Structure 1
Amino acid sequence: MKTLAYGFPKLGEKREFKSLLENFWKGKIDETQFVDGMNNLRRWMVENYRQNVDMIPSNELSYYDFVLDTAVMLSAIPSRFGQYEGLKTYFEMARGKYALEMTKYFNTNYHYLVPELENAELKLLKNYLLEEYRFFKAMGVETIPKILSPFTFLKLSKVLKRKEEGPFPILELSKIEDQATFEKYFNAVFGVYEEVFKELKEEGVKEVLVEDPALCLELKDYEWDLVEEMYSCLSKYLDIYLLTYYDSVSDYQRYIKLPVKALGFDLVSNRENLENIRRFGFPEDKVLIAGVINGRQVWRACLDEKVRLVEELSKHAKDVIIANSCPLFHLPVSVEPENELDAELKERLAFAKEKLFELRTIKSAIEGDQQARLEVERVKKLLSIKFGEVPEVREKVKNLREEDFVRDVPYQERIKLQQDILKLPLLPTTTIGSFPQTEEVRRARTEYRNGKLSPEEYERFIKEQIEKVIRIQEDIGLDVLVHGEFERTDMVEFFAEKLGGIATTKHGWVLSYGSRVYRPPIIYGDVYRPEPMTLKEITYAQSLTQKPVKGMLTGPVTILNWSYYREDIPKEEIAYQIALALLEEVKDLENAGIKIIQIDEPAFREGAPLKKRDWPHYFSWAVKAFRLCSKAKPQTQIHTHMCYSEFNEVIEYIYQMDFDVISIEASRSKGEILSAFENFKGWDRQIGIGVYDIHSPAIPDKNSIRQILERAMKVLPVELLWVNPDCGLKTRRWEEVVPALKNMVECAEELRKELVSV
């Protein structure tokens, strides 16, 4: 019996990955220093594997995103980037002025760059697998190269439908839906993969790990036919260890017949894979990769249960490999430095390093190692003790009634009441919420947390920042203002620190995209609000201006989906607990005179199960959780914000949330996302169009902003449109933000005048 782990977080013990990237982008280190630093991280990742597991993957450290790496490998580089010039082109595709669209990887909070296929003329540009295999071979380490499958790559890609040239290219891209187009591009992609596999074989490589999570989607018969053909051909070159994750495979019978050496199963996301193995058996000629250690949650595994499960699987399969259920990059590196966590909670946690130890322990316990057996029993006893229960909170959820999820006045009546109060112009302008978190802001926060700034000094500093940003927004001419969120490290972590039943870490960083990291909170118990969370800063900001200032909250579904949550009660019950806590905050803001409250839900779509058959249950409680926390007075305008998700498929559920205004990302997709609203019959809610990409340092000109707004006005009545950036501005610099917002406001004002004069 062997152990396998994959997807170990590349971030490093002290966020070395982030430092390397940002220093390279700023010109503080050259390309040689950058590559040397990344190679040190590669060695560190492999060393963690070597200490704990038998099978060691390579090709796991991407300089930005592994899907982007695959696109570059295939030479799928859109023509607007010109000839490939190494890292210059690579980072232009990732974060330049005309960067690729970004969206969530399946139902996770990891963002990948969406490959754009302009044509089917692909060739092998860069064999990342071979390069890294040789790198470790030279060190005397035998690794198994890992690659994203051609099938999953295509399912993540979009093809170019239409391109409109100009100072700001307008692209229409679409997922590949029809069989003929899919087969055309599949053949092109597969041809390059064959070259990759041939080169690996010639190098002496025997085995390869292939990640194919798209096999967990609901697939058509022709797609399965292509998958079978693909693996039949590729298996001629190398032994394939196939990994699927985030859900059960969509067709168990066709999956187990694939001509590969080993088949991987996620055995923690649900029970369907296990039930199919029990019901239909497992082929004698294949190895079973048992994903028994949860790669998405930080809780210690009940090792006793895992040992029994692996022993059971050994009766169905001749050979079993013990593995994690999905990539470990969804986890922080190690729980070891979290010395400020409650000791009882810390003892219940396992981050990526600890997950490797769990894999080793399960194997050792099965092989009869006495020390491992003692550890299994110790953990079993620990996890049997109840933790974090608050009966009053559970009683509140139990007593919820249907009317608690419905606003008292219909939208068409509410919006008239709101406009009478707000008196906003056509195409009102605003921002999503946050403004630049400068070095000064970060330093003050650190000094406050370290005790170098008193609470009074820190509060005075935050007030100064709020006053400054209110004046800047008024000077720019924005119609609806925000307080800037200078007191907030992260949109979820800020609320987690103020809510009962949720813990935060000091070192638990996880990569979201590029160099962007966040620390997911840990929901360990019943959630409640001990005291107001945002009232002081929002009301102070409102006292400084006659213009409306938005109250800024993070929604219950996003707090839940961007946290590690407890697994002993249903997920929807946790969402309702959070929603009730947020509702108390909404009432306090209303009573303090705040007329617009934004409840952000960027994770609303990503939490949906992979299979659409499971959507009705998820969206039922997700919609209800939002409606519960937003049950405001009819005069209070409720906004929400969503970004970097595929909206077309879930627009009906989004509409059911019953907000008054939604703001969306529309810049990287060049307005393509608007088709979701165009095709929805009866869309009548106000919508804020994200007119420029805040993840790029490029300052948008008025022409590029105008193009997106004109595209929007072809789709929706101008009376419904707001104008805003596509996301918060915390990662940008003031010298980028001010001119960008000035261009945005001037563009909106010019359009207003033109529309009024018509």
Structure 2
Amino acid sequence: MPENNPATPFPAASLLGYPRIGRRRELKKAVEAYWAGKIDADALDAAAKDIQLSIARRLQDLGLTEAAAVPGTFSYYDQVLDATAHLGAVPARFGNLLNAEGQLDIDGYFTLARGTKDQQPLEMTKWFDTNYHYLVPEIGPETTFALASNRIVAEFEFALANGIETRPYIVGPVTYLLLSKASDDAPAGFAPLSRLEDILPVYTQLLEKLTAAGASWIQLDEPALVVDHDTPAAEIEAAVARSYEVLSGAAKRPQILVSTPYGALDGQLGTLAATAIDALHIDAFKGAVPSAAALAALGDKTLVAGVVDGHNIWRNDLAASAAKLDELKAAAGRVTVSTSTSTQHVPHDVTEEGQLSDDLRSWLAFADQKAVEVKALAAYLADPASARAAIDEASAAIAGRAAAAGVRREEVRTRTGSLTDADFSRSEYAVREAAQEKALHLPPLPTTTIGSFPQTSGIRSARARNNKGELTNAQYEQLMKDEIKRVVELQEELGYDVLVHGEPERNDMVQYFAENLDGFDVTVHGWVQSYGSRCTRPSILWGDVTRSAPITVKWAEYAQSLTGKPMKGMLTGPVTILAWSFVRDDQPLGETANQVGLALRDEIADLEAAGIKIIQVDEPALRELLPLRKAEQAAYLKWSVDSFRLATAGAADATQIHTHLCYSEFGVIIDAIDGLDADVTSIEAARSRMEVVHDLESHGFGRGVGPGVYDIHSPRVPCEAEVTELLATAVKHVPSRQLWVNPDCGLKTRGYAETEESLRNVVKATKTIRAGLLAAAS
């Protein structure tokens, strides 16, 4: 126990985390203003403090008033990057980013996230089974560790000075190392987990500083413990035991909560129960209730029950959660209530969505409503009668949802129920390849982009003015056509082989379809952080899905009329539409995916009829929904792959079907990617420096593939030599006849100046590699 601070019970009601971007994306705006040089570091710090304080006060207003009930989960960019900053784990390739005081200041922090002109940023990948992206630490034998940031302590002290004792947060040591990759300088076979003993003293030093600052609790986040890893379970178990032996044995420390979101803890529960931590959080929403024996092993530790879903927006079934709490309380000692995960994955407040119907709003719970649900369930534990009204109200809303019009549509269910195996298959690839070569006449290493071009302020302004009625639909459509013409002419001038229309009419690659399909609704203020300052507004998929009219055809048809080169039709795939929406939880995901797949199948047929010969169906989220436990993965991959095939299998042999994937560990799902049976697959590869080509080579991937050569998630412009080197690497591992050349992802978030320069360099590099291939063949 800490020397300075008296023992404080863990709060009866708390959240595991809270949205940190700001209710109106205030942090996004401040950070981007700082990057642009419009404000200085002091102004950025002031904006961050305003957001932190507003979060803390809002949660107190919602009833989370006990000491340490408010989670200190603020971040300027990413929680894993925060841990990297505190550990001082700067990769050697960046040189010395630490300042004279040995600290990683805000500019060094953002350098790791965004890179420099000469150095790529840290790799980015998905955070467990969410659409959040984290920055992957690079750890090797050469990595030095030291407490190089005081921000967690400073944020705690700031809140305390304003009368609120928060609960400091950091990614735990085992999760941090399991999520890391070996550095460029590490020897073959090096495992970052082998550096555990070297980082534990830094964590201990942080605990001591928090104790001195007055913190009674710290939250150490260990979601990697709910995942099946290639690292042997016994090795992870030993790392967990050692970590919490050291940290709980620190002479001066706050009380320790270990949180384990995103799934069932399973065997590692016993490991943590045997340590001297003070509280253990379990995901009791997604994960099953542990056995009575496993819970009894916790002894006098507090069990923090995550019975309210932090990952989706549906109203909690309070009656079912209360029954679960009864079961936990009967077997464990002290039980308190929290969310299953951080609520950073959901918007702030459903009451702000006045455009939604009263019925739909009554079915939903955003972060603020989840705090109220947690508080109600904590009240139930103390006095069941006091929560009866809240439980009855929730049960009535859930029953009303089940009976509401549009939730079930018999014509949709009849169509999905009549599907046969033939609906999921195209002709053999060799037949399609010959038909497409005859129809398209493409050169070796054909160049293309992924779909979107920069969304300028003019485009966004036009969309807003159209929504407000300040522009007629005809005026708005003409502005969009003008932008499409500009994009087509630019691609012609740059020398691209397969063109895109740039998607100026689309606010978001999922929301655009949600606005044009029955069974969806969209929010106005429902922003959720995807990575860094990037936010999305996930749509709400609440009912059976149908397409009442063509969605993309008129834009693709117009764009094709401007050029003799092939124009790609651009669709978002069924799995990604599900992954990047808040999806109904009242039926299997596979059923919902097939409904979306059939809507897209109809859209593809209409695009073909309009003369579009290449159609891209993006599935960047295919890896994202992969279950964290291996035993559950085969079933997921079956329905997810089938939904894509259902969408595309009606296409003619001569129609070239493309798909796109980004920011995932592709080797894990290479069989599934192959199973999509797309004619061309474009994949993120630039930030990971072409790692994926080794997976493609070892798998023997036999169709078209475009490993990305331009990382669009960073503002840096890759030079011609850099792109040439990436393409040369690709050609060594993948037959050149299969290779396409493209950026990692769409260009929506970039500016035109950097985009044009980068795309020009891509074409120059392609010409160099093409010339080399021709010379080698002659």
Task: Tell me the residue number matched to 1:148.
Answer: 171
Matches of 2:132 and 2:13 in 1, distance apart?
25
Offset of 1:232 from its aligned partner?
1.3
Matches of 1:291 and 1:415 in 2, distance apart?
51
Task: Tell me the residue number matched to 1:463.
Answer: 481
Q: Give 1:123's aligned amino acid.
A: A
Task: Tell me the residue number matched to 2:549.
Answer: 531
Matches of 1:371 and 1:313 in 2, distance apart?
19
Task: Tell me the residue number matched to 1:544.
Answer: 562
Q: Is the 8 A contact 1:493 1:520 kept in 2?
A: yes
Task: Tell me the residue number matched to 1:167.
Answer: none
Change (3 A) 1:450 1:282: farther
Offset of 1:203 from its aligned partner?
3.7
Q: Give 1:144's aligned amino acid.
A: R
Q: Deviations over 1:426-452 (max 9, x none)?
A: 110000000011011000000111111
The SS at the match of 2:352 is coil
Offset of 1:289 from its aligned partner?
0.7
Task: Tell me the residue number matched to 2:78.
Answer: 65
Q: Residues 598-609 of structure 1: matches in 2 within 5 Å?
A: 598-609=616-627
Q: Residues 482-561 of structure 1: matches in 2 within 5 Å?
A: 482-561=500-579
Matches of 1:609 and 1:459 in 2, distance apart?
42
Residue of 204, 222, 243 corresponding to 2:259: 243
Offset of 1:250 from its aligned partner?
3.5
Task: Tell me the residue number matched to 2:115.
Answer: 96
Structure 1 residue 329 corresponds to structure 2 residue 352:
no
Give ranges in structure 2 of 5+ residues lacking alignment: 1-10, 100-104
Task: Tell me the residue number matched to 1:29.
Answer: 39
Residue of 137, 150, 153 corresponding to 1:127: 150
Q: Is the 8 A contact 2:315 2:363 kept in 1?
A: yes
Q: Give 1:64's aligned amino acid.
A: Y
The SS at the match of 2:587 is coil
Residue of 180, 196, 201 corresponding to 2:211: 201
Offset of 1:184 from its aligned partner?
3.0
Task: Tell me the residue number matched to 2:137.
Answer: 115
Q: Residues 172-571 of structure 1: matches in 2 within 5 Å?
A: 181-218=191-228, 220-237=233-250, 238=253, 239-251=255-267, 252-271=269-288, 274-277=289-292, 281-368=296-383, 372-385=387-400, 386-387=403-404, 388-407=407-426, 409-571=427-589
Task: Tell me the residue number matched to 2:94.
Answer: 81
Q: Give 2:321's aligned amino acid.
A: K
Q: Deviations over 1:245-277 (max 9, x none)?
A: 111014143343333211111111143xx1534
Offset of 1:312 from its aligned partner?
2.7
Matches of 1:278 and 1:236 in 2, distance apart?
26
Q: Is the 8 A contact 1:93 1:99 kept in 2?
A: yes
Q: Give 1:156's aligned amino acid.
A: L
Deviates more, 1:527-536 or 1:196-205: 196-205
Change (3 A) 1:278 1:507: farther
Offset of 1:399 from its aligned partner?
1.2
Q: Give 2:613's aligned amino acid.
A: K
Offset of 1:4 from its aligned partner?
1.4
Q: CA RMSD in A?
A: 1.7
Deviates more, 1:70-79 or 1:434-443: 70-79
Residue of 713, 724, 730 corresponding to 2:731: 713
Structure 1 residue 13 corresponds to structure 2 residue 23:
yes
Matches of 1:253 and 1:322 in 2, distance apart?
21
Matches of 1:78 and 1:333 in 2, distance apart?
35
Offset of 1:278 from its aligned partner?
7.6
Q: Residues 585-734 of structure 1: matches in 2 within 5 Å?
A: 585-631=603-649, 632-680=651-699, 682-734=700-752
Matches of 1:488 and 1:220 in 2, distance apart?
45
Q: Is the 8 A contact 1:5 1:49 kept in 2?
A: no
Offset of 1:229 from its aligned partner?
1.4
Q: Is the 8 A contact 2:16 2:340 kept in 1?
A: no
Q: Is the 8 A contact 1:282 1:316 kept in 2?
A: no
Change (3 A) 1:173 1:392: farther
Q: Is the 8 A contact 2:178 2:193 kept in 1?
A: no
Q: Is the 8 A contact 2:178 2:192 kept in 1?
A: no
Task: Tell me the residue number matched to 2:5.
Answer: none
Matches of 1:81 and 1:540 in 2, distance apart?
46
Q: Is the 8 A contact 2:576 2:619 kept in 1?
A: yes
Offset of 1:391 from its aligned partner?
1.0
Q: Give 1:105's aligned amino acid.
A: W
Q: Give 2:623's aligned amino acid.
A: R
Deviates more, 1:260-269 or 1:658-667: 260-269
Q: Give 1:129's aligned amino acid.
A: I
Q: Is the 8 A contact 1:107 1:608 kept in 2?
A: yes
Q: Is the 8 A contact 1:249 1:255 kept in 2?
A: no
Offset of 1:628 from its aligned partner?
0.5
Matches of 2:366 and 2:214 in 1, distance apart?
34
Task: Tell me the residue number matched to 2:6.
Answer: none
Q: Percent identity?
A: 40
Q: Give 1:653's aligned amino acid.
A: A
Aligned length: 741
Q: Deviations over 1:551-570 (max 9, x none)?
A: 00000000011111111111
**TM-score, length of structure 2 as denominator length:** 0.93
Matches of 2:740 and 2:695 in 1, distance apart?
17
Q: Is the 8 A contact 2:709 2:726 kept in 1?
A: yes
Offset of 1:198 from its aligned partner?
2.6
Matches of 2:441 and 2:266 in 1, distance apart?
52
Matches of 1:74 and 1:513 in 2, distance apart?
21
Q: Is the 8 A contact 1:216 1:244 kept in 2?
A: yes
Structure 1 runs (4+) greater than 6 angstroms displaced: none
Offset of 1:740 from its aligned partner?
1.2
Offset of 1:690 from its aligned partner?
0.9
Matches of 1:505 and 1:140 in 2, distance apart?
34
Q: Is the 8 A contact 2:306 2:337 kept in 1?
A: yes
Offset of 1:510 from its aligned partner?
0.4
The SS at the match of 2:291 is helix
Change (3 A) 1:666 1:311: same
Q: Is the 8 A contact 2:697 2:734 kept in 1?
A: yes
